[in-house]
Amino acid sequence: MASTSVPLTLPVLPLDDEVVLPGMVVPLELSNPEVRAAVEAARAGNAGGKPQVLLVPRLDGSYAAVGALATVEQVGRLADGDPAALVRAVRRVRIGAGTTGPGAALWVETTPFKESDQGLPVAGRALELVKEYKALSTQWLRRRGAWQIVDRVAAIEDVGELADHIGYAPFATAEQKLKVLLEADRPARLEYALGLLREHLAEEEVNDSIRKDVEEGVAKQQKEFLLRRQLEAVRKELAELNGEADTEEEDYRARVEAAALPEKVREAALKEVDKLERASDQSPEGSWIRTWLDTVLELPWNERSEDAYDIAAARAVLDADHTGLADVKDRIVEYLAVRKRRADQGLGQIGGRRGGAVLALVGPPGVGKTSLGESVAKAMGRSFVRVALGGVRDEAEIRGHRRTYVGSIPGRIVRAIKEAGTMNPVVLLDEIDKVGSDYRGDPAAALLEVLDPAQNHTFRDHYLEVELDLSDVVFLATANVLEAIPEPLLDRMDLVRLDGYTEDEKVAIARDHLLPRQLAKAGLGGDELTVDEAALRRLAAEYTREAGVRNLERSIARILRKVAAQTELGERELPAAIGPDDLRALLGRPHHVPESAQEPAERRTAVPGVATGLAVTGAGGDVLYIEASLADAETGSTGLTLTGQLGDVMKESAHIALSFLRSRGAELELPVTGLRERGIHLHVPAGAVPKDGPSAGITMTTALASLLSGRKVRTDVAMTGEVSLTGRVLPIGGVKQKLLAADRSGITTVIIPKRNEADLDDVPAEVLERLTVHPVSDVREVLRLALEPAGVLVAAA
């Protein structure tokens, strides 16, 4: 054989979509004209020794730049009789320019292929690669059962030769083998081959695991099937020996008799078992009866949780979970105290009824109504289950579907009892004011029996059609708008108002509950980030003006997310502290600036004819501005124009206010004589929001009086109250919510009706300390307190 350093001229034997690496011995069919031409040319040009050809990979129609010099070992026929040549790849050579030679084959000039560390001893990283490749290769060959090749691979010591052994691997693609062929760095070549081997072994392990799991699952199913069939056969033989017929119907009868069911329920269940025994196997009634029996047997008819009679511990649980909400906490503690005393005295049910409770928690969003249910259940030691009623319009959702319908199921109340696992859980009826009604019935009417303590001990679900005792259940109903709850339903519940939190309570809630929870969600530790109480206070006052704390929690979460992102980007180091001055950079400018903090020219009441009122919305109390303007006499416009999407009651208040001022103009020293020739426009901003109610009467009167007199309304004054034609200030509702809204908005003086003075007892003491409240009974007192003295140009801050 010629020296490896001498250029050679060889006939080209192209390999379509295949690569042969040095050291490989492969058969090639001579039926391919190009293969036959190359072999014949090699044999014709052979001056001595074995004929030589150049094996060149041809992928996607293009030849590779490197090929394998191969010797034609033998020419003969394959087992099927086709002619073939056996060639052995010897070494890599680089392909040069084409030339001429004997035969029809393509001849090319070749140059030696220079490899790195050729002839150097194996050491260092290369030695580690050799050991790992041999180990993995041995593992793969043994999995394939190729034991005769294991020793051959173990005897290879050359790094390049070992790497080229990957050419025999069927899992290696032609592109991957070509990369091995082109690689001049022998350790890098072995490392790449090792990576291919690793990936293949990992895939095989996953496939083996999946195949094993499937085989085990199939074997288990087959075994279970055979055992069950054998068990059925044994039971059948035993039943025949004893003269009995062990049927599914008798199994239901045994379950009913063994279950601890109330007497009437047991009788109804046994009647259904009798029907099941008489029904044929093909009758659909059988499946309905089985489903009904399963439902009855799964209900916890005699399961009850033991109430936690440690009253102090129950109150501690409520205080730990929620800040504020004293009314509902007191009501739960009172309920437990009465239950404890009755238990101590050995008193049981009263007229078949147990001591349940039905509470309606009404308040704006975000004050903790829903989360309070879980705390109540924890404090009482009972199971808790939530029933979402928002958008429910089908009466059957509450009372269940009758069994005559296909797919009928029990109502939500029965399903809640089943889910709780006891007959005395705490059931939260969430968003009861969002229940609707249509042609399918009125779900609110279906709740009348559920929430009536005098009736719910005999509640009957349409699906069960047996009495279910709900008198020991504690029902907590939540609502945002009291007026949306039907009066008969509201009459059956103890009403507890949650009117929103004061600023101090919000800060405490944020510090004790919201911040720790959001720190955990953001992956930050309490020792890594602290938020000053002053920052929390500013967050509650200027960024989230609301009755609850939902937006406050969102703002805290946004701050923590920004801090986490800044930390990962290297813009901030931990531990860190967030102060009030950091909020603008993290959240932007404040969204709610108190009226008193603005410049005099920017204030809403900086011009005559604008007064500040107080209102109650579904989101709690709010500040309402009422604006009045007088048309020019030359326009010819007359009468009263009202805008701002006002309801009928609010429109009537505007007419009453105008009539009072017209009739008392001289007494109040107001120029009302020209009102008949000039039109008056009364507007309440936020025109897209519907507004109604009589409580803006004195605010409208004050705005009109300010317009006619030219005296501005004091910036720090807000008011609420209904007005009569004689100027009397009549009582209104929602005093606590309105005063909380005034305090949040920076108002310092509030005017309320005299007859609402008793409602101040419900207002937190710290709010009353910040507010100056004037109970009044006449509009004249309102004007005296609200209007600036004549000649004052700018209201005092």
Q: Is 618 left (phi over 0), alpha (psi -120 to 50) or beta?
A: alpha
The two tokens of residue 711 are 């005296």
What is the per-residue pLDDT across 312-365, written as a single tens digit (0 to 9) for each?
888 888 888 887 777 788 888 888 888 788 777 766 555 555 667 888 888 888
For residue 638, the model assigns a pLDDT of: 67
CA distance 583 to 588: 7
Beta pairing class for 610-617 and 620-630:
antiparallel
Catalytic-labelled residue, pool 695, 706, 709, 745: 695
Find out whether 665 is annotated in a ligand binding site.
no
Q: Are 524 and 563 in contact (CB under 8 A)?
A: yes
**What is the C-alpha to C-alpha distance for residues 218 and 403, in angstroms, rounded to an integer?**
39
CATH superfamily to which 8-112 belongs? LON domain-like (2.30.130.40)
76 is annotated as contributing to ligand binding = no
Q: Which of 177, 471, 738, 745 is catalytic?
A: 738
Rounded Cα distance between 717 and 749, Å, is 5
* Res 419: pLDDT: 92
What is the per-residue pLDDT for 94? 92
pLDDT of residue 543: 86
Give the architecture (CATH level 2) of 595-786: 2-Layer Sandwich (3.30)
What pLDDT score does 574 carry?
86
- Residue 162: predicted pLDDT: 87
CB atoms < 10 A from the CB of 157, how many? Answer: 11
The answer to whether 370 is a known ligand-binding residue is yes
Q: Is 363 annotated as a binding residue?
A: yes
Q: What is the CA radius of gyration of the chain?
A: 45
Rounded Cα gap, residues 662 and 39, in angstroms: 122
Provide the pLDDT for residue 235.
Answer: 62
Specify the CATH number of the domain 311-497: 3.40.50.300
pLDDT at 793 (0 to 100): 42
Catalytic (active site) residue 434: no
Q: Locate 701 and state its tokens.
A: 């009167």
Residue 750: the pLDDT is 95
Is there a catalytic annotation at residue 736?
Answer: no
Q: Please state, in angstroms and rounded to a whole number, the distance separating the CA atoms of residues 382 and 727.
A: 55
What letter does residue 366 receive in the DSSP assignment?
Answer: T
Name residue 17's amino acid.
D
- Note whether 706 and 734 are within 8 A (CB): no
- The pair of structure tokens assigned to 637 is 């416009």
Q: Tell me what pLDDT residue 502 has.
A: 77
Q: What is the pLDDT of residue 691?
A: 77
Distance CA 794, CA 779 (A): 23
**Spatial CA neighbour of 788 closest among 754, 735, 749:** 749
Q: Is 366 annotated as a binding residue?
A: yes
Class of domain 503-587: mainly alpha
Q: Does 365 show up as a binding residue in the annotation?
A: yes
The ranges of the chain with pLDDT < 70 are 1-5, 47, 117-123, 228, 232, 235-236, 238-250, 280-283, 346-355, 593-603, 618-619, 633-638, 673-677, 687-688, 790-797
What pLDDT is stored for residue 797 in this prediction?
A: 27
pLDDT of residue 749: 93
Q: Is the dihedral of CA 294, 295, 297, 300 positive or negative?
A: positive
